[in-house]
């Protein structure tokens, strides 16, 4: 490893550098001596030395350039989704052969039986561990360590495999998702994954830097990953599939409340690009924020404001509130503390910032006004509450230039908050998390296959720009899987739903390519095929905000296409 490469690795891992997402036209490129990582031929991550640049803030760097932080979402299921029938149907017997299922998550316990062939060899094609520093990073990337199938197979033949391939999954989330989507059949334990013959590719995401955790007030011990590392993970998996000439189904079981809730964000735009490619399927969990009380839907009229009440249950270090509105709308806000001190509203323009210290509470609030979307230029009002005291804080939203006067406000996801914070008059709709709001990938919600009822925590649609999401739902309660210890377990949450859907997409890719003479199929077409066969509850109208177009039934999807 040469000196320049060592310096770049230090920049990637060290908290002494900021990670800023930009493109070639933006000013960050002009800073001398800064390493960079290209992202999917569209964006660039610049690593900026903290002692040479301004401190991280929305007022200094555009919010769209600051990486968002993402967290995880926590056999009966396969039968309900029609997967067992297409695995065992005599004229189908689809099991995901020659399809790659890609995971970007907490890693994978590669020694587990769920990821091995009958001869003991691995079904894992490659693992990129972003958290392990070395000079063995993948081609085109400047950090992490890549392990090939040959290296994994060699390690599995040794007494202590991790001496040769030290990658492990300490949390277990990635291992359980991979087991659900692609676990090998185990007749003795009555277990089989959705696509048990599929190839597996894995990216273990590196943890978010401390400077970003502090910027977002992420509580100590919470699992958090950076947007730019998610970008590179998707890019790596896509490049691997292109190199091997194989179809790819992506399983994304993480999300955030930070950022644009429509399709205009950078990560969602990139996922739209991938989903549009031939032989790709992209499945994203919608999250579990429906009943967290972290969304507020409001509206104002000329000369009429809206008082948004936020209940802070205990004194805490801080939290962030984001107000998003369409490009046709402009709002101004003021903040009132629990004791009645006021941060007054001011005239609004892009890039403006207000600061206020509330003396009686020893709290402070910073308000930044920006155009937050890359494509559609929605208005973003970004509010940072530092050391907020317990009590009800009021954000008064005023019309400045309005058309319909509607806006949405979001608090951080539950796992990021130090203590409970919620909107007093919350709204459970439009609670799907980013990046499941992307237009072309499949946003997957959850339902309870055991009772036939809804999964009440599953994020609800639609997106803020009116796209119908979730696209469909899959089982989310007590889904059978194998954990990081090699034991069989149960998993609940929309991550499990996304894993089932990713496995189903692998089977549909196999059917389209091998049986339906459709080698150019992409995620958009797979989505339409699934919607065409989705089960619908008789007493509900579809599409709806809870289940989109219905419940995953891949057998019915294939049956409907064969009957055309």
Name the residue ranges covered by the structural domains of the chain.
3-53, 72-290+434-562, 295-423
Q: What CATH fold (topology level) applies to the domain 72-290+434-562?
A: Rossmann fold (3.40.50)
411: which 2 tokens? 């608090």
**pLDDT for position 27:** 47
Residue 285, beta-bridge partner list: 444
> What distance in Å separates the CA atoms of residue 136 and residue 367, rounded to the nearest whole number?
43
**pLDDT for position 42:** 77
> What distance in Å separates the CA atoms of residue 522 and residue 515, rounded to the nearest whole number?
16
Mean pLDDT, each 10-residue run in order, the chain (564 residues): 69 93 62 72 88 89 91 67 73 87 97 95 98 93 96 96 95 95 92 95 98 96 96 97 97 94 84 96 96 96 92 95 88 93 81 86 91 70 95 94 90 96 97 95 95 94 91 94 91 95 97 91 96 93 96 93 66
Would you call 81 helix, strand, or coil by DSSP?
coil
The closest of 205, 198, 298 to 248, measured between CA atoms, is 198
> What distance in Å separates the CA atoms of residue 471 and residue 473, rounded to the nearest whole number?
7
Q: Where are the beta strands (DSSP E) in 40-98?
A: 43-49, 69-72
Q: What CATH fold (topology level) applies to the domain 295-423?
A: Jelly Rolls (2.60.120)
Question: What does the H/E/C string look like for 208-270?
Answer: CCHHHHHHCCCCCCCCCEEHHHHHHHHHHHHHHHHHHCCCEEEEECEEECCCCCCCCCHHHHH
**pLDDT for position 28:** 45
Helix H or strand E encompassing 33:
none
Do 72-290+434-562 and 295-423 fold alike per CATH? no
The closest of 411, 414, 463, 415 to 436, measured between CA atoms, is 463
**pLDDT for position 265:** 82
Would you call 304 helix, strand, or coil by DSSP?
strand
Q: Could you identify the residue written with the tokens 């189904």?
A: 249
CA 267 to chain centre: 9
């Amino acid at each position: 490893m040469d000196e320049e490469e060592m310096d770049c690795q230090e920049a990637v891992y060290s908290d002494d550098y900021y990670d800023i997402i930009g493109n070639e036209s933006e000013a960050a490129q002009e800073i001398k001596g800064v390493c960079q990582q290209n992202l999917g031929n569209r964006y660039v991550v610049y690593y900026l030395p903290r002692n040479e640049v301004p401190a991280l803030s929305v007022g200094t760097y555009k919010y769209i350039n600051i990486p968002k932080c993402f967290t995880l979402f926590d056999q009966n299921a396969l039968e309900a989704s029609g997967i067992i029938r297409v695995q065992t149907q005599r004229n189908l017997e689809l099991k995901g052969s020659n399809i790659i299922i890609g995971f970007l998550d907490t890693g994978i316990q590669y020694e587990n039986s769920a990821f091995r062939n009958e001869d003991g060899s691995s079904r894992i094609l490659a693992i990129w561990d972003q958290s392990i520093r070395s000079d063995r990073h993948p081609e085109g990337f400047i950090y992490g360590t890549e392990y090939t199938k040959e290296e994994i197979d060699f390690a599995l033949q040794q007494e202590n495999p991790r001496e040769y391939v030290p990658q492990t999954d300490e949390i277990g989330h990635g291992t359980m998702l991979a087991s659900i989507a692609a676990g090998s059949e185990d007749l003795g334990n009555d277990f089989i994954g959705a696509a048990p013959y599929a190839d597996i590719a894995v990216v273990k995401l590196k943890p978010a830097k401390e400077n970003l955790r502090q910027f977002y007030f992420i509580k100590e011990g919470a699992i958090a990953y950076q947007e730019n590392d998610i970008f590179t993970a998707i890019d790596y998996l896509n490049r691997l599939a292109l190199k091997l000439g194989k179809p790819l189904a992506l399983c994304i079981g993480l999300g955030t409340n930070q950022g644009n809730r429509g399709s205009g964000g950078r990560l969602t735009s990139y996922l739209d690009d991938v989903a549009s490619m031939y032989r790709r399927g992209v499945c994203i969990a919608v999250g579990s924020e429906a009943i967290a009380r972290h969304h507020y839907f409001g509206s104002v009229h000329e000369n009429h404001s809206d008082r948004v009440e936020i209940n802070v249950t205990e004194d805490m270090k801080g939290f962030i509130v984001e107000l998003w509105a369409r490009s046709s709308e402009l709002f101004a806000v003021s903040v009132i503390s629990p004791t009645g001190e006021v941060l007054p509203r001011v005239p609004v323009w892009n890039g403006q910032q207000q600061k206020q210290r509330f003396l009686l509470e020893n709290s402070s609030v910073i308000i930044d006004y920006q155009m937050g979307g890359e494509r559609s230029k929605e208005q973003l009002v970004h509010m940072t509450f530092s050391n907020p005291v317990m009590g009800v804080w009021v954000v008064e939203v005023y019309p400045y230039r309005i058309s319909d006067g509607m806006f949405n406000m979001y608090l951080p996801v539950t796992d990021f908050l130090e203590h409970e914070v919620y909107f007093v008059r919350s709204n459970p709709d439009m609670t799907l998390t980013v990046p499941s709001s992307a237009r072309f990938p499949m946003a997957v919600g959850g339902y309870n296959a055991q009772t036939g009822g809804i999964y009440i925590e599953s994020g609800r649609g639609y997106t803020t720009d009116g796209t119908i999401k979730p696209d469909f739902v899959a089982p989310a309660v007590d889904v059978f899987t194998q954990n990081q210890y090699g034991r069989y377990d149960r998993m609940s949450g929309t991550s499990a739903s996304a894993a089932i859907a990713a496995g189903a997409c692998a089977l549909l890719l196999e059917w389209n390519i091998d049986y339906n003479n459709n080698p150019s199929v992409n995620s958009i077409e797979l989505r339409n095929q699934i919607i065409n066969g989705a089960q619908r509850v008789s007493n509900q109208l579809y599409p709806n905000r809870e289940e989109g177009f219905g419940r995953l039934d891949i057998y019915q999807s294939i049956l409907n296409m064969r009957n055309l």
